[in-house]
């Protein structure tokens, strides 16, 4: 499965543009297996709870989707999880508490996720240390996997040793990588697919890669991974701005990042070269 973490469009005044958000979702829907709303690429941390609730009421998504939960306090996280459940989300993707390092404390982390798991939709763990700045220890993941409503994990670290651990321990979790440059390695270690920022742009290519792997066309899968690697790598340097820039180049207006973050990126030139190569290969979602 390939799920894009949908970007959240903002206008030039920094206001969420829910109509543009719907257009982005509609453009991607034919090419993907589901969506993640309000993930890292969706600038969830830049939206207040009322804005995220307004977005969930405004967006019409058919099929499988999840919602990111990025709150620090348990009370706020439970409220966000309840809002996701009311919107029909199949799962919430929750980061561990970050500001006081709670993700690294087994007692804090376990309570946080178990309380969320009691609320409603399935809970997927989210390990993204490059943004959260806290680890999600493997022992904690293994313990939480025993809960019947903790059913998945997105691991964006790019550390294939972690994927090997999940596979070796047979945790029973649905495993997704958030690191596009190692998607093929993640599949080889038991991952179901990817929740990839790059899938907003090149979902057909990444779905073809997963399909080739599942059909045991390993040479084709490797060729696709090799071809897509520059896009995933360059995008990772500044994903929010570059996803929006890339969608605009493909004819889909995704707005600009919310201030104070700029709409431009110093990594734009190599990223656009990689995107143009993906367009030429037929791996991208659209081209106006």
Map tokens 């899938």 to a residue: 199
The tally of domains found in the chain comes to: 1
Q: Is the pLDDT of residue 102 over 80?
A: no
Q: How is residue 10 annotated by DSSP?
A: B
Q: First and final CA of the chain: distance in angstroms?
A: 26
Give Cβ neighbours of residue 135 (< 8 Å, ≥ 6 apart): 103, 104, 127, 129
Q: What is the pTM of this model?
A: 0.94
Look at residue 62 in the predicted model and tell me its pLDDT: 86
Q: Mean pLDDT over residues 81-102, rounded?
A: 91
Instruction: Tell whether 156 is covered by a domain.
Output: yes
Give percent of the chain with pLDDT exceeding 90. 88
Helix, strand or coil, per DSSP, at residue 67: strand
Partner residues linked to 3 by β-bridges: 195
Given a contact cutoff of 8 angstroms between Cβ atoms, the answer to whether 151 and 124 are in contact is yes
Sheet holding 150-155, edge to edge: 2-3, 193-195, 174-177, 150-155, 122-127, 91-94, 65-69, 35-37
CB atoms within 10 A of CB 16: 21
Mean pLDDT of the chain: 94
What pLDDT band is residue 47 in, cutting at 50, 70 and 90? Answer: very high
Map tokens 């009691």 to a residue: 118
Q: Say how far apart CA 81 and CA 102 lie, in whole Å.
A: 19
What pLDDT band is residue 119 in, cutting at 50, 70 and 90? Answer: confident
pLDDT digits (tens, 9 = 90+) for 27-43: 999 999 999 999 999 99
**Tokens read off for 34:** 């589901």
* CATH number for the domain that contains residue 166: 3.20.20.70
Instruction: Tell whether 286 is covered by a domain.
Output: no
Instruction: Tell whether 288 is covered by a domain.
Output: no
**Tokens read off for 167:** 């596979």
pLDDT digits (tens, 9 = 90+) for 156-180: 999 999 999 999 999 999 999 999 9
Look at residue 106 in the predicted model and tell me its pLDDT: 81
Q: Is the pLDDT of residue 287 over 70?
A: no
Q: Is the pLDDT of residue 288 over 60?
A: no
Given a contact cutoff of 8 angstroms between Cβ atoms, the answer to whether 106 and 121 are in contact is no
Domain of residue 167, residue span: 2-281
Q: Is the pLDDT of residue 151 over 80?
A: yes
Of residues 271 and 286, more confidence is placed in 271
CB atoms within 10 A of CB 99: 10
pLDDT digits (tens, 9 = 90+) for 178-220: 999 999 999 999 999 999 999 999 999 999 999 999 999 999 9
For 168-205, give one letter per residue: b (16+ CB within 10 A) or e. eeebebbbbbbbbbbbbbbbbbebbbbbbbbbbbbbbb
């Amino acid at each position: 499965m390939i799920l894009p973490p949908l970007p959240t469009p903002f206008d030039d005044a920094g206001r969420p543009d829910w109509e543009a958000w719907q257009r982005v979702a509609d453009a991607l829907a034919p090419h993907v297996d589901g969506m993640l709303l309000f993930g890292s690429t969706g600038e969830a941390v830049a939206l207040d709870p009322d804005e995220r609730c307004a977005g969930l009421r405004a967006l019409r998504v058919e099929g499988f989707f999840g919602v990111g939960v990025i709150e620090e306090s348990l009370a706020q996280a439970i409220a966000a999880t309840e809002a996701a459940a009311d919107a029909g989300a199949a799962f919430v993707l929750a980061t561990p508490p970050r500001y006081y390092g709670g993700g690294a404390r087994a007692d804090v982390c376990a309570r946080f996720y178990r309380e969320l798991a009691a609320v409603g939709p399935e809970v997927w763990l989210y390990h993204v240390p490059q943004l959260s700045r806290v680890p999600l220890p493997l022992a904690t993941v293994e313990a939480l996997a025993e809960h019947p409503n903790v059913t998945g994990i997105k691991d964006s670290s790019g550390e294939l040793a972690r994927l090997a651990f999940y596979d070796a321990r047979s945790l029973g979790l649905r495993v997704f990588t958030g690191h596009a440059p190692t998607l093929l390695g993640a599949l080889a270690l038991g991952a179901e697919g990817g929740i990839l920022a790059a899938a907003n742009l090149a979902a057909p290519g990444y779905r073809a890669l997963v399909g080739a792997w599942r059909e045991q066309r390993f040479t084709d899968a490797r060729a696709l991974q090799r071809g897509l690697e520059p896009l995933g790598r360059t995008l990772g340097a500044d994903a929010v701005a570059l996803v929006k820039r890339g969608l605009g180049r493909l004819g889909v207006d995704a707005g600009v990042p919310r201030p104070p973050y700029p709409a431009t990126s110093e990594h734009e030139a190599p990223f656009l070269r990689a995107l143009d190569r993906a367009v030429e290969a037929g791996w991208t979602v659209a081209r106006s």
